Amino acid sequence: MPNFLTLLNLSCGVLSAIFMISSNAQITTTTVTIVMVLMLISLVADFLDGMVARLMNIGSPIGKELDSLADCISFGVVPGLMLFSMFNHFSTDFIYENENLKIAAISLFAFLVPAFSALRLAKFNLDEDQATYFKGLATPSNTLFIFSLFSIYYNNGQIVNPSVDPYLLIAVSIVFSVLLIVDLPLFALKFKGLSWAENYYKYIFLIITLGLVAWLQVAAIPLIILLYIIISIIFRKEITK
């Protein structure tokens, strides 16, 4: 059962990649919706596979490696393709172009994300300290941040504010690639019981998150990820206890 959920995560990632590549020339609201649904299925499957393995006490080295492989596709390759698509819309300086695919020079920044996601997942598999918290930004969180930009920027196939976005995307590509591998403790949403005293910073995060989602919907995701990083920095000592 856990491996089935992991393979579901992987399959949805592959389908997302297919839709992104086939829609490279023109991203529509339909493409964004399909990618969002597939991403949500991947996120749920990724959350459940580990939980089911623990509940059934059937964890295995194969499952751990398979999970990282699936995450590398769903939360490494797919967000990289999102950035790749946006970069291509901002540029006319194509280094390769045919009727099905265009590759702009600036879009090469997008491939930092898959590369650093793979490095982050490899480090995670070897690090025993990350059982209760993360070192660096988890790949699903990074994917949510990039998807929020992707969904906000595309409005019926058009880019919002094209004059400033390329520089923002370059910054996102570099900064969030570094955040994936930096030795910064970030809390995991694993509760030590339900008491406020043991989990207060997690409850604070969830309360503010619910308010932001109710107010801004998808546009709230970048703020939520930034809030997550800020709270983790503030409560660093509590996280690593």
Q: How open is the CA angle 93-94-95, to the nearest 5 degrees?
A: 120
pLDDT digits (tens, 9 = 90+) for 43-70: 999 988 777 767 777 767 787 889 899 9
- CA torsion angle 198 200 203 205 (round to 10): -130
pLDDT value of residue 48: 85
Backbone angles phi, psi at 188, to 5 degrees: -100, 150
Tokens at 75, concatenated: 């939360």
Low-confidence ranges of the chain (pLDDT < 50): 157, 163-164
pLDDT value of residue 70: 93
What CA–CA distance (Å, rounded) separates 82 from 176? 14
Max CA-CA distance within the chain? 59
pTM: 0.88
pLDDT value of residue 151: 86
pLDDT value of residue 25: 59
pLDDT value of residue 20: 87
Alpha helices in the chain (DSSP H): 2-22, 29-56, 61-72, 78-90, 112-126, 139-153, 165-181, 196-216, 221-234, 236-239
pLDDT value of residue 209: 94
Q: Mind listing the domains of the chain with CATH numbers?
A: 1-183 (1.20.120.1760)
What CA–CA distance (Å, rounded) separates 175 from 177? 5
What CA–CA distance (Å, rounded) separates 228 from 82? 22
Tokens at 227, concatenated: 């809030």
pLDDT value of residue 163: 47
pLDDT value of residue 59: 67
Q: Give buried/exposed letters for 158-181 (b at 16+ CB in 10 A, else e).
A: eeeeeeebbeebbebbeebbebbb
What CA–CA distance (Å, rounded) separates 76 from 190? 23
